[in-house]
Amino acid sequence: MRRSVVVLSFFVSSLSALSQECLPDGFEGPSYFDTYHELYDKPAKWNVYNVHDPSVYKDGDWYYMYNTDVGMGYTSGSGAMKRRSQDLVNWEYLGHAFDGIPDTARNFFLQYNPDYTDAGIWAPFISKYKDEFRLYYSAPGGLEGVNLAFIGWATSSSADGPWESQGGITTSIPDDTINAIDPTVVIDQETGQHWMAYGSYQSGLYIVELDSTTGGLKTPGDRGVRIAARGGGMHAAIEGPEITYHDGYYYLFVSYDWLEDYYNVRVGRSEHPNGPYYDIFGVDMAEYSNNFPVILKPYQFNDHVGWQGTGHCSVYNDSGQYYIFNQARPRGDIYNMVLHTRKIFWIDGWPVVSPERYAAVPECDIPADSLVGEWEEMELKYVVGILLTGSTTITLDAEGTIDGDLMSAWTLQDSLLTLSWDDGNSVFKTLVAWAWDWENSVRTLVFTGMDNEGLNIWGKKINHQAVSRHTELIPGAAYSIRSRYSNLLMEVRDGEDNIGTSIRQGKDDGGLNQVWRIVQYEDGDWSLVAEHSVDNKVIEVPDGDPAATFLELGAFTGEDKQKFDIRYTDNGYFKILTKVSDYAKCFDLYGFSVLETGFISQWDDLGGTNQGWRFTRIDSLGADNSLNFESPVLTDARVYPNPFLNEIHVDLSGGLQLQRAELINSLGQVVFSSETRAETRTSLEVPAFLSGQFYLLKMYTNKGVLIKPMLKR
């Protein structure tokens, strides 16, 4: 895909002054899941979940966020949802700013809709003037297909409230072409004038002057002037204005398209808060046009389902570091509304945003040689019919070339990474930074920037070791297996080790009953071995019945009922198909359960999110390559007693001969080794000084190696 490029001759000199790379010890990034089905009715645990149209302001040590009243399958009341955070990563849900809709809004709606009931608050905006916090909000009038809306405001001495309603700013009535929703306020840096931008769809976005002293409308009845509109006429999708000041310009962020799918953020700028605003091509945004650049849109990094609905942003200047906040929805689970927070950087006077969400990764030096390697790269092109922007792989070579092409080049000067293509006709200026790779749970490098025509570009360095933990299956390795739908782990119920015990799901508690060894057969199928089982029991389809529903634990026999085709689906998840169904059925979270102890079943492969499974390799447990279920070892050997005292007995059959035995302690040390005679019954005398603990008995036979967990009394 990449283009031919001229190599830049000054690359070598930029390597001569490398700084020491900072590697913070013990940094662990956040571990939020993409969905929250299991938390839908637990507001205290919502954190970054159920967030739409956020607005953030810092008061003391706390960042406060207000957002639209939303809920995925659950109604928690109305009145503008409220949260707080001390690090912009972990958020505490605090309830609502108001107890429902303020009376001024309710009374206005009743004039036009006598059947009005509380429809919640949309897009609250928090700001501060002198010692007073002001919360602007909008509310819909509850008439289907009718433009009926209200913008009001309230005040408080604290960002936390309580809030005292101050009345209304502006309204929309039926047949109005201006939609009174989505308020945002900006203060003129020179004159001190207060301006409120608002609007959605219809005739576009407007800005009107406020009274700085009260926070209310300066001129009664004033609707303001249009500052942005969308090409396509009266019903083109544009909404969610946000204005921030930076280095001599006021930047107007707007959202295009429907909030559940193509939602994307664009930006223009002006020397005055009330406009006019121009995009990067000099087009007046008040015209019915499509404006650029696109700085945030639906996207998909490798090994992830991707994010859509990435719009309606808020921007906050935190002592010179700007952040952008918006909602996003995981593909396939679009009713899950998740807060995304990103750092904003500035290239040639225009904002660009980090490819990865903010995770408070320590800021460290970035020497040029740390950029060498493979990267995922994506250009934020808006193409009708293509929802998610995907990535391609490029390699930044140590010699300063790209993909080994002598006609391509990259250079790093401080944090400015320059990528050049087409003999220098296409040049991207980007800024590189440390970030958290949310798709693979590892610290990595990212870049973000744009070319001279405003096309934004993102990059993320690939950590192949981290990727492999979730995408590659290694025979004998141990894995946790997490449901895509419930985020709970596949486990053996209550840690039992009995034949017929059901396979369920449970909260991650670190138990071995939630760990599975995977063993591969010559035909490519796999078995799932319960790590906690003393005799390596496996998951099986009961009686090998293709019509059976619930999966259970069984003694290994090597039959088809214990064989599965585990297929990677290229989005971070696997599906597990059963051989007894001729691979037409797969592991299924029964009934889309979000409860602990929910059953794991065999069901028709319908591609549902409850049939996706996230495998995570547990490297600390190592790989057990001796687990070879195609040999007769497990069925032709019996080891007893367990727990043992000072003697272990091994019964052999089927021509199996024991050649040597070892006891290995929990540190991996061989504490006992014995040469034995080739006979069918063997007694192993174990040193009496061994303490009571867990051991592995490793038996070398003429047909392979057998490992049995053993306990010493």
Report all structural domains of the chain as residue ranges with CATH numbers, in order of start.
Answer: 11-21+367-466 (2.40.128.10), 58-353 (2.115.10.20), 473-621 (2.80.10.50), 637-711 (2.60.40.1220)
Indicate the helix (H) or strand (E) that contains 103: helix 103-112
In terms of C-beta density within 10 A (0-12 exposed, 13-18 middle, 19 or more buried), how is residue 213 classed?
A: exposed
Average pLDDT for 231-251: 90
Q: What are phi and psi of 104, to 5 degrees?
A: -65, -35
Residues 6+ apart with CB under 8 A from 362: 22, 24, 27, 434
Name the pTM for this structure. 0.86
Establish whether 53 is a catalytic residue.
yes
Report helix, strand and coil shares of the chain as percent, to nearest 5.
Answer: 10, 45, 50
Q: Report whether pLDDT(79) > 60.
A: yes
At residue 183's C-alpha, the angle toward residues 180 and 186, to 5°, is: 140
CA distance 370 to 463: 12
**Residues 518, 574: Cα–Cα separation, whole Å:** 13
Averaged confidence pLDDT in the chain: 91
Least confidently predicted of 343-347, 396-400, 644-648: 644-648
What would the pLDDT profile of 274-303 be if each residue is shown by its tens digit? 999 999 999 999 999 999 999 999 999 999
The model's pLDDT over 460-483, given as tens digits with 9 standing for 90+, comes to: 999 999 999 999 999 999 999 999
- Model pLDDT, residue 635: 55
Q: What is the mean pLDDT of residues 186-209?
A: 96
Residue 279: how many other CB atoms lie within 10 Å: 21
* pLDDT confidence bin for 695, thresholds 50/70/90: confident
Q: Which of 55-69, 231-245, 454-468 has the lowest mean pLDDT?
A: 231-245
Burial category of 118 from C-beta neighbours within 10 Å (exposed 0-12, middle 13-18, buried 19 and up): middle
Question: Which one from 53, 279, 437, 552 is the annotated catalytic residue?
Answer: 53
Which alpha helices (DSSP H) does 419-574 contain, by range? 464-471
Residue 666 pLDDT > 80: no
- The pair of three-digit structure tokens given for residue 332, joined into one six-digit string: 């396939």
pLDDT tens figures, 423-449: 777 899 999 999 999 999 999 999 999
Mean pLDDT of 683-712: 78
pLDDT value at 555 more than 70: yes
**Close Cβ partners of 320 (under 8 Å, ≥ 6 residues apart):** none
Residue 102, pLDDT above cutoff 90: yes
How would you label 509-520 residue by residue, b for 16+ Cβ within 10 Å and e otherwise?
eebbbbbbbbbb
- Beta strand 321-330 with 338-347: parallel, antiparallel or unpaired? antiparallel
pLDDT band at 23 (very low <50, low <70, confident <90, very high): low
Average pLDDT of span 223-230 = 97
Beta strands in 236-282 (DSSP E): 238-246, 249-256, 264-270
- Please give the share of the chain, as a percent, with pLDDT higher than 70: 92
Examine the pLDDT at 523 and tell me if it is beyond 70.
yes
d(CA 399, CA 405): 10
Mean pLDDT of 398-416: 92
User: Which band of pLDDT confidence, cut at 50, 70 and 90, is reported for residue 235?
Assistant: low
The strand order across the sheet containing 81-85 reads 55-59, 62-67, 81-85, 92-96
Residue in 34, 38, 209, 239 annotated catalytic: 239
**Token match 């790989």: residue?**
623
- Please state the rounded mean pLDDT for residues 646-658: 83
- Prior bond of 632 cis (ω within 30°): no
Q: Which residues pair with 93 in a beta bridge?
A: 83
Q: What is the mean pLDDT of residues 399-416?
A: 92
In the predicted model, what is the mean pLDDT of residues 666-683?
A: 75
Least confident of 198-202, 323-327, 626-630: 626-630
pLDDT score recorded for residue 665: 81
pLDDT at 210 over 90: yes
Q: Around Cβ 623, how many Cβ atoms within 10 Å?
A: 15
pLDDT range class, residue 368, cuts 50, 70, 90: very high
In whole angstroms, give the CA distance from residue 104 to residue 100: 12
Six token digits for residue 710: 């053993």
Instruction: Give pLDDT, residue 24.
Output: 56
Residue with tokens 């020491």: 20
pLDDT surpassing 60 at residue 2: no
> How confident is residue 556, by pLDDT bands cut at 50, 70 and 90?
confident
**Hey, what are 56's tokens?**
């953030």
Question: In angstroms, rounded to a whole number, what is the distance separating the alpha carbons of residues 402 and 396?
Answer: 5
Q: What is the mean pLDDT of residues 242-255?
A: 98
Residue 677: what pLDDT? 65
DSSP string spanning 121-188?
-EEEEEEEETTEEEEEEEEE---TTS--EEEEEEEESSTT---EEEEEEEEE-TT-SS-----EEEE-
Confidence of residue 20 (pLDDT cuts 50, 70, 90): very low
Confidence of residue 234 (pLDDT cuts 50, 70, 90): low
3-state secondary structure of 576: strand
Mean pLDDT in residue range 629-642: 66
Whether the pLDDT of residue 629 is over 70: the answer is no
Distance, CA of 152 to CA of 241 (rounded, Å): 16
Q: Taking a C-beta distance cutoff of 8 angstroms, is the pair 378, 294 a contact?
A: no
* Angle made by CA atoms 340, 341, 342, in degrees to the nearest 5: 120
Give the residue-averaged pLDDT of 107-133.
97
Cβ neighbour number for residue 160 with a 10 Å cutoff: 16
Residue 45 has a pLDDT of: 97
Is the pLDDT score of 618 beyond 90? yes
Alpha-carbon distance 611 to 331, whole Å? 15
Q: Name which of 407, 410, 379, 381 is nearest 392 in CA terms.
A: 379
Answer yes or no: 239 catalytic.
yes
Q: For residue 706, give the 3-state DSSP assignment.
A: strand
